[in-house]
Amino acid sequence: MVLTAEIKTVGIVGGGQMGSGIAQLALVSGMDVWLFDLDSNALTKATNSINSSIQRFIDKGQLSQEIGSGAVRRLSCTSRLEDLQSVDVIIEAIVESEDAKKKLFSDLDRIVKGSAILASNTSSISITRLASVTGRPNQVIGMHFMNPPPIMKLVEIVRCADTSEETFMTVKTLAERFGKKVICSQDYPGFIVNRILMPMINEAFFTLYTGVATKEDIDSGMKLGTNHPMGPLELADFIGLDVCLSIMKVLHAGLGDNKYWPCPLLVQYVDAGRLGRKRGIGVYTYEKVVEPKLSSRI
């Protein structure tokens, strides 16, 4: 088992916003990073995003020029999964699909060294089921970052049925090395954050669907009445309506309670391709896709 002090190289699978953000955290923490994505354009975009983000931290005086420059030099990008064979820890941040994640974990299990830990950034999928396709279930764990990872302070760690204490402590210490506050969840649908957040977002859709109020008043009510930085519908657009729907389906199937039934309006929007900010239209329409300065894509 690799210990936290021995973690020198981290593999990140997925060059999207979450993957690039997690890669940045590892880089500025002094680790070498292999960032994998099949799409070379995604890797180029991720590299530019990481460089720009690090420079912003330097400009704000939150990161030294020396650390920032060193971090950029430690990033390697690849579209060959085999290049991850010698990393100490893998953090997976691909599409929220159980089948896709299982296929990836099965492939990684054959490729990476025996001591490597396999961590998933999944926001709702069972870690136990992901671990079941590997020959190292004791070294599989959930490491759920909030979005954007360089800004949001929380990491939700999820132990599967077989996660060892050594794996848990290594990943917990790693998250703390990234400067994060750790909360721990058992491996139940939605874990902690999404078990609470997604039903609230779903209820906001029901409130809109049944004509209780306008989308603007629903969001204003939660921002001004409960001090949320974003309203639930605005937040859903930022997260991605397809992601929200996927998590609600996991909650509904896994917990078997009709209170987790996805709102028909949410389903309709996803069917129509109205996925939120990433598509320029969701609950709201966006002339320009701009991420909020402080938000929480789960």
Q: Cα separation of 269 and 266, whole Å?
A: 5
37 appears as a binding residue in the annotation:
yes
Flag whether 278 is marked binding: yes
Please name the residue that has the structure tokens 């089948």. 99
Q: Is 222 annotated as a binding residue?
A: no
Q: Determine which one of 49, 120, 121, 123 is catalytic.
A: 123
53 annotated as a binding-site residue = yes
Nearest-angstrom CA–CA distance, 81 and 133: 17
User: Is residue 37 within 8 Å of 61, Cβ to Cβ?
Assistant: no
Per the annotation, does 258 bind a ligand?
no
Asked whether residue 172 is marked as a ligand-binding residue, the answer is no
Question: What is the layout of strands, in order, in the sheet containing 140-145?
Answer: 75-78, 32-36, 9-13, 89-92, 117-120, 140-145, 154-159, 181-186
Catalytic residue among 20, 92, 124, 144: 144
Note if 144 is an active site residue: yes
194 noted as active-site residue? yes
Q: Confirm or deny that 181 is annotated as ligand binding.
A: no
Say which of 20, 120, 156, 296 is annotated catalytic.
156
Do the annotations mark residue 17 as ligand-binding? yes
Exactly one of 49, 121, 185, 194 is catalytic; which is it? 194
Whether 21 has a binding-site annotation, put simply, is no
* Selection from 201, 266, 270, 206 nearest residue 234 by Cα: 201
Is 82 annotated in the active site? no
- Token pair of 246 as six digits: 């996927």
Active site residues: 123, 144, 156, 194
Binding-site positions for CoA? 53, 60, 123
Which positions make up the binding site?
Answer: 14-19, 37, 53, 60, 96, 101, 123, 147, 278
Binding site residue list for NAD(+)? 14-19, 37, 96, 101, 123, 147, 278
